[in-house]
Amino acid sequence: MLGFALLAALSQTLVLAGGTIVDVRDSGRSAGDIRDSVVVIREGHIVAAGARKKTKIPAGANVIRIDGAYVLPGLNDVFAGLNSQAQANAYLYMGVTSIVGSDEPGGQRGALFTAANPSPRIRRLGAISDPKEIDELARNRVEVLLIYYPMKADQTRLAVRRARELGLAAIGELGETTYTEAIEAGVDAFIHSSRYALELASPQMHSEVAKAPFGPPRTAFYQFLADLDPDSAVVTKWGARLAAGRVALIPTLSLYYLDLPVHENPWKEPIAAILDPKDIHLPADRETGQAPHAPGIPAVLSPNVLRIEERYRRAGARYLAGSGTSAFGTLPGISLHNELRMLTDIGLTPRQAIAAATSNPSEVFRWRNVGQIKAGYDADVLVVDADPTADIRNLKKIRLVIHNGRIIDRDALLKSH
């Protein structure tokens, strides 16, 4: 019996041989890539990874030669919706093996569809307006809290404390709590560049937006932000504070992508053919790639948001990658690649941008065994045909997507939805 069990285990062992393991440690500042590597995968986990001369290939394993290719963790979109099987397919097709999923029935991203098969891993996001809601969300398997506009500073402190006790991450889209107070409370990350820029506003404007975050005060604030000099003292001061704290930023720059004067048509990606524009908030035109103008948002806001974000990056801010899909025309999987490219546009190196979608989420959110190609880690793996640390666009040159130890049939994803 033992012999049969051993043979069964070996038949399920997958080996990637000959590729370069991309180092994503230390927020992408480490560059210890392993060339001519071996990655051994069994039962959904990486059981060995290293140089070929130091890493044994088990007898009887399924060995795939990937000479000349690059091996990195599957991508994690840390702020996203998923409302259909087609969207699940699109994430996987583009190498996104995990998302932090926002459930928004009737909202911009729609109800979170958790029955997709195949599907990226989904870590549920839950918005809170009162710390008393946390325990119920945890019982419903929420893993990331979104501390929302009505929460006051004392409530935010209580929420972060309870989140830590329950092993939950906590991100903020804030109003009544200032972002400085949230840093002091220990919030893990802030979401949306145009939202955590609220710290740049006057106390009166801040108070007005906090009370009506989606009403006319927001429009006035966005106009202020569009007109603000990125080199002003207030931006410099806020950038320094962001860099000095342990908080990470999820700028969701891809939400501004279609408003930029020059952008590509996201519908031209092959996997976009299976997506339904009806499932997308304010979708771009399939033929032209042009998006309808969002009401209440100044046309010149997007370019200046990017300029201000570049100053935060220059100051030393730490980043996580979230696309905001499917709000404002963002598309599953496709827009995370846009997000990573835009992170390099504001000055991150390609390796640092990759870390924002791989190792950084595990470090910031205290998730074990995800986001690196190392023994003991989840076998969510992306193999690409060109060096993504030389050009972030090379992340789209996908040879293999491995999810939970299984090779995903990308051609089938184009047909089955």
Confidence category of residue 5, pLDDT binned at 50, 70, 90? very low
Q: How far lies 138's CA from each of 99, 142, 171, 314, 409, in Å?
A: 18, 5, 15, 37, 34
Cβ–Cβ under 8 Å, residues 250 and 78: yes
DSSP conformation class of 50? E
The confidence score (pLDDT) of residue 294 equals 87
Q: Does residue 291 or residue 90 have the better pLDDT?
A: 90
Q: How far lies 95's CA from each of 63, 85, 151, 154, 309, in Å?
A: 21, 16, 36, 40, 26
Identify the sign of the CA torsion 51, 53, 55, 59: positive
**How are strands ordered across the β-sheet holding 398-403?**
20-21, 70-73, 381-384, 398-403, 406-407
User: What confidence tens digit (pLDDT) does each residue in 294-346 have?
Assistant: 888 998 999 999 999 999 999 999 999 999 999 999 999 999 999 999 999 99
For the chain, give percent helix, strand, coil, nearest 5: 40, 20, 40
Cβ–Cβ under 8 Å, residues 156 and 172: yes
For 381, the enclosing helix (H) or strand (E) is strand 381-384
The confidence score (pLDDT) of residue 8 equals 43
What is the set of domains in the chain, with CATH numbers? 2-72+371-413 (2.30.40.10), 73-365 (3.20.20.140)
Between CA 330 and CA 326 the distance in angstroms is 5
**Other Cβ atoms within 10 Å of 77 Cβ, number:** 31
User: What confidence tens digit (pLDDT) does each residue in 246-270 have?
Assistant: 999 999 999 999 999 899 999 999 9
Task: Give Rg (Cα) of the chain.
Answer: 21
